[in-house]
């Protein structure tokens, strides 16, 4: 084991582990939700303010509905709750309990403006008392309404109507007319002594509260008791999430483990992957500690994305090391795998990195976690894991290879068909779009996200139903001092009572004159009311007297009805509840028009605002994400082709997702929008792997698929498992997230595995020549024009047309460039590429001209041939040879020298694109005495050729453009090129020697032909393949020398080379 190879990763581990321990020890875990939202949003700021100082964050509601809505049960619960030290106070709504009601009214009165309070006090002057009671008596006649009667009996002096008619005096009193001894519900408001801010605090408080409820309420009645309110929601959601995360982790790890075992039958695979992913998570934690100092638990939860994506790299590395194909250039293949992983990590990190500039602090944390983690995974997977696997040499089951080969064969055979199907589907999608566009793929309705089994949610619904309450909008108003606060609050809600207002309380306490009770009693007696009618009034006066005497401070009412507090920045602030008549948004628009400084404290409005923000951010950032994807895709091969293919992968993935959503009638929720950048990364990742793999294996589809099919399939399946696991949870939000991600990944996987390779292969199977120019008609025109222009004119025109062809066919130029890269050091001189095209044009001009000239004139254009003796030596009567040449110079000129052979040789040619062209070219060769035999790449052709050889007829063929299956890679100075094994096989099977012929044009314009010493292959010891490979390399060496000497005459327009 070479320690040197392990050194970089070991150093990294040695640094990372202690630093991450420090980071984990000092990292502050945050469990609140609101800090994840953009703080500059007014709605977020409003909610944050209201939560920081006002009561709702520490108030839990206990709703008793029939049959549990009994006074006895409520009293016992109240007693028990008050004994719990964590509870500061309990308030009850639902029963006509005089004491709390009177205290609430007295608290409201104490906070009145002093002049209004003075008016209130004047109501108890004897004359006023008589008048008001007479008015009450008159109201008992005529139309009778039970509600009015109840209120008159409770408040015969009609203090409450007077109070509610005063500006800034509206008390949030319960509907007194609807309370009864057997109420439809009883609501106990439980106020915690400390604010319940974090998940854990809420969970602990609610759990203890539930214990008390269970101890007091009989089991049969417990379903009628609901615990609700903000802390109950927080506790329920967080504990639900804890359970859900456990389910998700167990399911994801279990299924992934099972999957890896099914594929590789190796537990070591998962072990090493776990180690790498753990290191990646530590790296993410270090980055978060350095950048933020804290992490939210929700960001940590979503960091499972990192595990999903990171394990992909490990699978790629692991699978590579299970491949032991002798035909594989391991170093080159490893370079490709490593490059793919780093490209993918960079693309995904950049795509996610764009989200750093979103408005959400939570998103920024997530981005840093994932980006740092992914880059760390890429590093450890390509160093530590690779080195470990290099030594452990894992083995993949044979069936994986068979399955990959089958898919490779299917893709090769059906590439055109697959592309056609995809095009058809795209067309169908366009046709269906006018119908499908009306479907709501995205549904922001928050009610969909509420779990049906949520007790807190059910409790809230029951409460709204029982109280028939109208919705209200919570608004925060701030001011530098109390007068400013009052002015602003009055503009928002003129009737709102602000409490406590210390200056008013002080003034009112001073002006209150005790002892109005005797006057009230006398007035009641006089007016014909017994004293019981004035019970509440007298109790109110007692309470105010006690307050004036300093014996009462309205402790309970103060806790539950206070809506004014000191803001964190100094100065008072108030929470107002504005009735909503139409909808929340229009109510808020009205409020902000009246008081621009007001802040909404409504969760619903905040969530709607966040939703708009998410969409705005998505629009803004998706552009940057796409730029990142385009840049990296281009950089991968310095070509726009991968960019286009990745674009296609994205379109198909998102199109596929939308189609599945439409067909299954599912929708995406706000949280599911998070999947879009992840899906973008996944789609590009799979597409890039397949493209780079196919490119690196230079068209060897079988080898490329052996390397990529299983990893991409596994990556897809593990991602589906990882992200699909939330479907098993109880949270609608998580279920939807999992469902969208699973379907999206499925679409991305199918696109990467099936469509992208088909597009690549479709291009390769596509003729390498121009379908417009490579036609018999152009050849006829060329043959007609060339003699008219003469040598010089025809060559000049040919060069110019060659140049034009290069400019108009960049893909062909790319092919020439990549092939020349095997001959010349990179980057290939563009002048050389240009010269190759110019020479090709001039050679074509010669080709057309030579065909029209008599043989003697043609021979004048050729230098005396070299190696003619080899022809004479091996091509005697009855003796045949396999004459081999390459796409170098005017290779057709070889026919001139074989024309003397008896019988004339057969020039082997692949079928031309049209019969007319085939005939034209055959006739052209016939003029020089050579016959043409069109053959395919099949065994029948092979038999046919060997028969001709056996008859003593030589055959001529090209060897440097082999098929995918019959070839050998031959080293060139800066790469490798494939050469056909066909000539050697023919020679070995027929016993005919091989004669290599090269034809190049000299600077003088004349051609030099050379017949090289013949090769006579014999079966060697070892396998047949080894013999074929040996002689093919010998044969290729001849052409390699000529190609390297005349690279600008090598007309190889198909990308074949493999970089080193």
> Which residues sit at the interface with another protein, rule CB under 8 A?
137-146, 148-149, 153, 180-184, 528-533
Nearest-approach distance from CB 142 to another protein, in angstroms: 4
Residue closer to another protein by CB (options 64, 968) is 64
Residue 1038 is encoded by which pair of tokens?
């001849």
Per-residue H/E/C for 292-334: CCEEEHHHHHHCHHHHHHHHHHHHHHHHHHHCCCCCCCHHHHH
Residue closer to another protein by CB (options 69, 676) is 69
Residue closer to another protein by CB (options 141, 435) is 141
Residue closer to another protein by CB (options 331, 532) is 532
For the chain, the maximum distance between any two Cα atoms, rounded to a whole number of angstroms, is 151
| 8 Å CB contact between 225 and 62 | yes
Beta strands, E only, 880-1027:
882-885, 906-909, 931-934, 955-958, 967-972, 975-980, 994-1001, 1007-1011
Nearest-approach distance from CB 140 to another protein, in angstroms: 4
Pairing of strands 472-478, 599-600: antiparallel
Nearest to 924 by CA among 776, 798, 1035, 733: 776
Residue closer to another protein by CB (options 84, 150) is 150
Nearest-approach distance from CB 92 to another protein, in angstroms: 18
Residues in Cβ contact with 194 at an 8 Å cutoff, skipping those fewer than 6 apart:
58, 86, 201
Residue closer to another protein by CB (options 45, 95) is 95
| 8 Å CB contact between 705 and 405 | yes
Pairing of strands 931-934, 906-909: parallel
Pairing of strands 975-980, 1058-1059: antiparallel
Residue closer to another protein by CB (options 535, 626) is 535
Q: How far is CA 697 from CA 351, 813, 969, 1050, in A?
A: 28, 20, 11, 22
CA torsion, ordered 267, 273, 275, 278, to nearest 10 deg: -130
Residue closer to another protein by CB (options 143, 452) is 143
Nearest-approach distance from CB 586 to another protein, in angstroms: 19
Nearest-approach distance from CB 181 to another protein, in angstroms: 8
Nearest-approach distance from CB 94 to another protein, in angstroms: 12
Nearest-approach distance from CB 184 to another protein, in angstroms: 8
| 8 Å CB contact between 709 and 404 | yes
| 8 Å CB contact between 309 and 373 | no
Please report which residue ranges of 41-111 form alpha helices under DSSP H: 42-53, 71-83, 98-110
Nearest to 360 by CA among 168, 535, 616, 154: 616
Nearest-approach distance from CB 537 to another protein, in angstroms: 13
Residue closer to another protein by CB (options 140, 859) is 140
Nearest to 544 by CA among 171, 165, 107: 107
Nearest-approach distance from CB 536 to another protein, in angstroms: 13
Nearest-approach distance from CB 147 to another protein, in angstroms: 9
Residue closer to another protein by CB (options 449, 524) is 524
Instruction: Sort residue 691 into left (φ over 0), alpha (ψ -120 to 50) or beta.
Output: alpha
Nearest-approach distance from CB 81 to another protein, in angstroms: 26
Residue 762 is encoded by which pair of tokens?
């479709």
Residue closer to another protein by CB (options 144, 430) is 144
**Residue 752 per-residue DSSP state:** I
Q: How far is CA 423 from CA 216, 417, 427, 571, in A?
A: 68, 10, 6, 66
Nearest-approach distance from CB 126 to another protein, in angstroms: 19
Residue closer to another protein by CB (options 185, 1050) is 185
Strand partners, 955: 882, 906
CA 133 – CA 139 distance, rounded (Å): 10
Nearest to 826 by CA among 1059, 537, 576: 1059
Residue closer to another protein by CB (options 183, 373) is 183
CA 210 – CA 191 distance, rounded (Å): 15
Print burial letters for 421-445: b (CB count within 10 Å at least 16), e (below 16). Answer: ebeeeeeebeeeeeeeeeeeeeebe
Nearest-approach distance from CB 201 to another protein, in angstroms: 39
Residue closer to another protein by CB (options 140, 432) is 140
CA 1007 – CA 890 distance, rounded (Å): 8
CA 991 – CA 882 distance, rounded (Å): 10
Nearest-approach distance from CB 288 to another protein, in angstroms: 56
Please report the DSSP string for 647-659 in residue order.
HHHHHHHHHHHHH
Nearest-approach distance from CB 228 to another protein, in angstroms: 23
Residue closer to another protein by CB (options 161, 483) is 161
Nearest-approach distance from CB 96 to another protein, in angstroms: 12
CA torsion, ordered 83, 85, 87, 92, to nearest 10 deg: 10
Please report the DSSP string for 100-155 in residue order.
HHHHHHHHHHHTS-HHHHHHHHHTTSHHHHHHHHHHHHHHTSSS--HHHHHHHHH-
Residue closer to another protein by CB (options 437, 470) is 470
Please report the DSSP string for 21-38 in residue order.
HHHHHHPEEE--SGGGS-
Nearest-approach distance from CB 148 to another protein, in angstroms: 8
Nearest-approach distance from CB 468 to another protein, in angstroms: 10
Residue 970 phi, psi dihedral angles, 5° rounding: -120, 130
Preceding peptide of 827 cis, ω within 30°:
yes
Residue closer to another protein by CB (options 447, 530) is 530
CA 279 – CA 284 distance, rounded (Å): 9
């Amino acid at each position: 084991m070479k320690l040197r190879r392990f050194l970089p990763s070991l150093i990294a581990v040695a640094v990372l582990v202690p630093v991450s321990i420090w980071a984990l020890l000092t990292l502050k875990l945050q469990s609140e939700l609101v800090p994840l939202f953009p703080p500059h949003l007014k709605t977020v700021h409003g909610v944050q303010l209201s939560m920081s100082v006002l009561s709702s964050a520490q108030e839990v509601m206990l709703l008793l509905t029939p049959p549990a809505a009994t006074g006895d049960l409520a009293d016992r619960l109240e007693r028990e709750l008050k004994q719990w030290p964590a509870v500061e106070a309990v308030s009850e709504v639902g029963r006509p309990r005089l004491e709390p009601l009177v205290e609430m009214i007295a608290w409201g009165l104490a906070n009145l403006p002093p002049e209004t309070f003075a008016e209130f006090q004047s109501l108890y002057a004897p004359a006023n008392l008589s008048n008001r009671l007479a008015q009450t008596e008159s109201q008992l006649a005529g139309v009778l309404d039970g509600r009015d009667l109840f209120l008159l009996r409770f408040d015969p002096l009609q203090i409450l109507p007077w109070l509610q008619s005063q500006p800034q005096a509206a008390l949030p009193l319960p509907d007194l007319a609807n309370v009864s001894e057997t109420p439809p519900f009883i609501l106990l408001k439980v106020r915690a002594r400390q604010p319940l801010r974090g998940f854990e605090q809420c969970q602990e408080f609610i759990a203890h509260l539930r214990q008390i409820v269970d101890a007091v309420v009989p089991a049969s009645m417990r379903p009628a008791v609901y615990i609700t309110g903000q802390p109950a929601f927080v506790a329920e959601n967080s504990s639900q999430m804890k359970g859900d995360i456990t389910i998700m982790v167990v399911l994801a790890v279990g299924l992934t483990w099972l999957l890896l075992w099914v594929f590789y039958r190796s537990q070591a695979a998962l072990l090493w992957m776990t180690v790498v992913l753990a290191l990646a998570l530590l790296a993410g934690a270090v980055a978060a500690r350095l950048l933020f100092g804290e992490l939210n638990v929700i960001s940590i939860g979503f960091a499972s994305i990192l595990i999903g994506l990171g394990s992909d790299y490990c699978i790629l590395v692991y699978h590579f090391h299970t491949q032991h194909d002798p035909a594989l250039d391991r170093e080159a293949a490893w370079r490709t795998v490593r490059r793919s992983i780093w490209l993918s990590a960079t693309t995904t990190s950049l795509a996610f990195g764009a989200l750093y500039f979103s408005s959400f602090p939570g998103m920024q944390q997530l981005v840093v976690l994932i980006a740092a983690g992914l880059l760390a995974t890429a590093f450890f997977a390509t160093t530590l894991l690779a080195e470990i696997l290099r030594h452990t040499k894992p083995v993949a089951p044979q069936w994986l290879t068979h399955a990959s080969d089958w898919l490779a064969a299917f893709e090769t055979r059906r590439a055109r068909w697959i592309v056609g199907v995809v095009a058809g589907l795209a067309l169908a999608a366009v046709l269906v779009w006018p119908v499908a566009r009306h479907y709501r793929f995205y549904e922001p309705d928050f009610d969909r996200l509420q779990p049906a089994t949520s007790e807190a949610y059910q409790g809230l619904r029951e409460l709204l139903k029982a109280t028939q309450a109208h919705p209200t909008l919570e608004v925060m108003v701030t001011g530098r001092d109390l007068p400013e606060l009052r002015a602003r609050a009055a503009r928002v809600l003129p009737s709102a009572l602000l409490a406590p207002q210390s200056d008013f309380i002080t003034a009112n306490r001073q002006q209150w004159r005790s002892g109005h009770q005797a006057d009230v009693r006398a007035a009641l007696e006089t007016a014909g009311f017994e004293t019981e009618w004035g019970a509440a009034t007298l109790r109110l006066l007692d309470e105010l007297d006690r307050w004036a005497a300093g014996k009462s401070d309205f402790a309970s009412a103060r806790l539950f009805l206070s809506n004014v507090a000191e803001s964190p920045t100094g100065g008072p602030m108030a929470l107002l509840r504005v009735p909503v008549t139409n909808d929340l948004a229009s109510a808020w628009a009205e409020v902000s028009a009246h008081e621009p400084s007001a802040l909404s404290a409504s969760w619903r409005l905040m969530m709607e605002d966040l939703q708009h923000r998410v969409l705005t951010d998505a629009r803004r950032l998706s552009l940057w994400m796409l730029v990142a994807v385009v840049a990296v895709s281009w950089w991968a091969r310095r070509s726009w082709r991968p960019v286009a293919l990745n674009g296609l992968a994205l379109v198909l993935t998102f199109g596929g997702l939308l189609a599945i959503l439409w067909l299954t009638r599912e929708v995406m929720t706000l949280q599911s929008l998070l999947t879009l950048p992840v899906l973008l990364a996944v789609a590009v990742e799979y597409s890039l792997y397949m493209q780079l793999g196919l490119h690196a294996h230079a068209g060897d589809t079988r080898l490329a698929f052996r390397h990529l099919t299983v990893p991409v399939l596994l990556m897809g399946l593990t991602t589906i498992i990882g992200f699909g696991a939330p479907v098993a949870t109880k949270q609608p939000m998580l279920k939807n997230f999992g469902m969208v991600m699973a379907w999206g990944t499925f679409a991305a996987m199918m696109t990467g595995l099936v469509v992208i390779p088909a597009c690549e292969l479709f291009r390769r199977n596509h003729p390498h020549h121009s379908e417009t120019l490579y036609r018999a008609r152009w050849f006829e025109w060329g043959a007609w024009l060339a003699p008219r222009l003469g040598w010089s004119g025809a060559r000049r025109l040919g060069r110019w047309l060659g140049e034009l062809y290069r400019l108009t066919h960049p893909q062909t130029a790319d092919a020439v460039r990549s092939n020349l890269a095997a001959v010349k050091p990179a980057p290939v001189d563009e002048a050389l590429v240009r010269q190759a095209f110019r020479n090709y044009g001039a050679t074509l001009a010669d080709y057309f001209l030579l065909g029209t000239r008599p043989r003697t004139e043609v021979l004048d254009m050729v230098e005396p041939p070299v190696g003619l003796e080899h022809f004479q030596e091996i091509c005697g009567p009855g003796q045949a040879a396999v004459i081999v040449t390459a796409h170098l110079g005017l290779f057709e000129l070889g026919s001139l020298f074989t024309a003397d052979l008896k019988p004339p040789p057969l020039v082997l040619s692949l079928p031309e694109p049209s019969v007319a062209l085939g005939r034209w070219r055959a006739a052209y060769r016939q003029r020089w005495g050579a016959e043409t035999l069109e053959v395919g790449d099949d065994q029948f052709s092979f038999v046919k050729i060997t028969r001709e050889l056996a008859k003593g007829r030589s055959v001529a063929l090209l060897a440097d453009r082999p098929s995918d299956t019959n070839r050998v890679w031959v080293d060139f100075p800066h790469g490798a090129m494939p050469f056909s094994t066909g000539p050697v096989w023919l020679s070995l099977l027929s016993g005919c020697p091989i004669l290599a012929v090269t034809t190049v044009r000299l600077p003088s314009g004349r051609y030099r032909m050379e017949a090289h010493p013949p090769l006579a292959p014999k079966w060697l010891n070892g396998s047949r393949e080894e013999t074929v490979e040996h002689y093919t390399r010998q044969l290729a060496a001849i052409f390699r020398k000529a190609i390297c000497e005349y690279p600008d005459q090598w007309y190889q327009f198909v990308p074949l080379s493999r970089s080193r």
